[in-house]
Amino acid sequence: MIYIKLFFVFFKIGLFSIGGGLATIPFLQELIDTYGWITSQELLDIIAISESTPGPIGINAATYVGYKTSGIMGGIIATLGIVAPSIIIISLIASYFRKVNEKPIVQNGFYTLRPAVIGLIGAAGFEVFKIALFNIDLFAQTHNFLNLFNIKAIILFGVILVLMKKVKLHPIVYIGLAAAVGIIFKY
């Protein structure tokens, strides 16, 4: 039964997360709220690892959540669930795309999807920012205002912002440095 639920939950994520990996983050947040399969911290770790490893965030997240929920078979089924909509849709439209691509209604359809994709990515960015820099769960438990802020993360965020403005390096260097510092701070 869990395999069917994993498949269909990730099928829905794959079907509705138009715009790439970051667009899956609001749907992954739903996994925390609805199913409790992962925690907010695990979602943040998934995003961080997915950003610094090959592969889309959604597929990496599906594999992780499926594995955590139901072992290797769960990881495989969740991954198949998230990629199945893309395979089905691409297979259906591939033969017709050349015929309809130049039609104004199709061009307008793609043009009108852009704001929705930007909104999904913006919402995802806000969620990552909120989870990374604030301890909302701890604050809700203690009601201590000082517990709301993740001081180490805020300092690291500030240092990275200053470095990015002052020292022009390739983004992969900053990703690697952030991963290394994150590992050091975590342990």
Q: What is the pLDDT along the chain (187 residues), one digit of tens a residue?
A: 889 999 999 999 888 887 666 778 888 888 888 888 888 888 888 888 877 777 788 888 888 899 999 999 999 999 999 999 988 988 888 777 777 777 888 888 888 888 988 998 898 888 888 888 888 888 888 888 888 888 888 888 888 888 888 988 888 888 888 788 878 877 5
Q: What is the pLDDT of residue 8?
A: 92
Question: What is the structure's pLDDT at 142?
Answer: 86
- Residue-range domain boundaries for the chain: 2-101
Q: What is the Cα 23 distance to its own chain's centre?
A: 7
- Residue with token string 């390096």: 169
* pLDDT confidence of residue 19: 65
Given this model, what pLDDT does residue 79 score?
92
The pLDDT of residue 11 = 93
Sign of CA dihedral 57, 61, 62, 64: positive
Contacts of 101 (CB under 8 A, 6+ apart): 107
User: Cα–Cα–Cα angle for 149, 178, 37, nearest 5°?
Assistant: 65
pLDDT of the residue at 140:
82
pLDDT of residue 89: 86
User: At 13, is the secondary structure helix, strand, or coil?
Assistant: helix
Report whether 81 contacts 14 (CB < 8 A): yes
